[in-house]
Amino acid sequence: MQYRTLGRTGIQVSPYALGTMMLGAIGNPDHEDSIKVIHRALDAGINLVDTADFYSDGESEEIVGKALHGRRDDVVLATKVGLPMGRPPGAPAAPVPNTSGASRRYLTRALEASLRRLRTDYVDLFQVHRPDPETDIEETLAVLTDLQREGKIRAFGTSSTPASDIVRTQWVAERRGLARPRTEQPPYSILDRGIEREVLPVVQEFGMGALVFSPLAGGLLTGRYRKGQAADTHRARFGFRHMVDPRRLDAVEALSVVAEQAGTPLRHLALAFAVTHPGVTAALLGPRTMEQLDDLLAGADTVLDDDVLDQIDAIVPPGTDVGPLDVAYQPPAVTTAALRRRPMAERTVAQ
């Protein structure tokens, strides 16, 4: 592994990181097998492990905590917080009050819970999983600054945050004398290049690290999803619409030709693409099994020349997304109709 500096934190991380969303009930429920997957990644030179309290409702963090026993000092440990936690089976869609978000009350309590599950007294990187429009950004920055000064976190970052919000957060931190986010974790793949337009340039401008997730486009770029064929995979059972989007499947067909001509599996080409952008620090691998991890690691030394990158650009132009990615963040103004419409009583009809 050729290690890279995580933004301007001085922390050295591997260009491929281990994402653990699929280790736990929603992916691999076998704790011992999942621990072996983590150990295999560490033995291969990966030193950044990324998890979240939301993954299998804390189970992923528990698995990571067990796996890092005796190896904690060798690992850059990152977790995320903010998505709804503790919702019992069959509970209504609305989250239980004060079990999500980025308020001082919740972040403080959530970090303590994560530390217990991870069996450690600090995390290297504490990330806000999604923007929280209900909480003043100054409050969020203030509590994260306090947690950093207490030594419970070494650095903090954001995830799935629009470029304008990243800029606003940096400005508020500077003007209020608060610590600032050092990283951003956005989705990024050959099929999802929208962050090249604004997010990555902003991240670079402020000296932040970028840990990109879903470099295989949720599995579409593994080579197991082809147009006109039903994929029998674990992720296919999630029902994501982007997995059957004909526009994305057409792009996969074209990219498969490029990969074949380059003499590399499509999944290896996709991973190499994700870490080629100078604004990207590391790409998160999300294996469910040892076999999947070993296959991805086999392509860790793949390097794409300019000719291959030009062919990719011709299929998916820089700065564009091929259809929507279901797991991508959508701001409330897009998802909530009431925020785009005046109340009926205030509407007027043009004369």
Catalytic residue among 3, 16, 55, 188: 55
Q: What angle do CA 27, 31, 33 make, to 5 degrees?
A: 85
> Which three-class secondary structure state does DSSP give residue 112?
helix
Do residues 184 and 157 lie in contact, with contact meaning Cβ atoms separated by under 8 Å?
A: yes
Q: Name beta bridge partners: 45.
A: none
Do residues 74 and 45 lie in contact, with contact meaning Cβ atoms separated by under 8 Å?
A: no
Catalytic, 16? Answer no
Tokens of 15: 């260009």
Longest CA pairwise span in the chain (Å): 75
Handedness of CA 163, 51, 111, 29 (dihedral sign): positive
- Using a 10 angstrom Cβ sphere, with 0-12 exposed, 13-18 middle and 19 or more buried, the burial of residue 309 is middle
- Residue holding tokens 């902003």? 202
Give the distance, in angstroms, between the CA of residue 61 and the centroid of all CA atoms in the same chain. Answer: 15
Name the DSSP letter for residue 139: H
- Residue holding tokens 């303590």? 112
C-alpha–C-alpha distance, residues 19 and 50, integer Å: 5
- Dihedral, CA atoms, 250, 267, 182, 79, nearest 10 degrees? 110
C-alpha–C-alpha distance, residues 60 and 65, integer Å: 9
C-alpha–C-alpha distance, residues 254 and 248, integer Å: 10
Which secondary-structure segment (H or E) carries 308? helix 306-315
**Active site positions, annotated:** 55
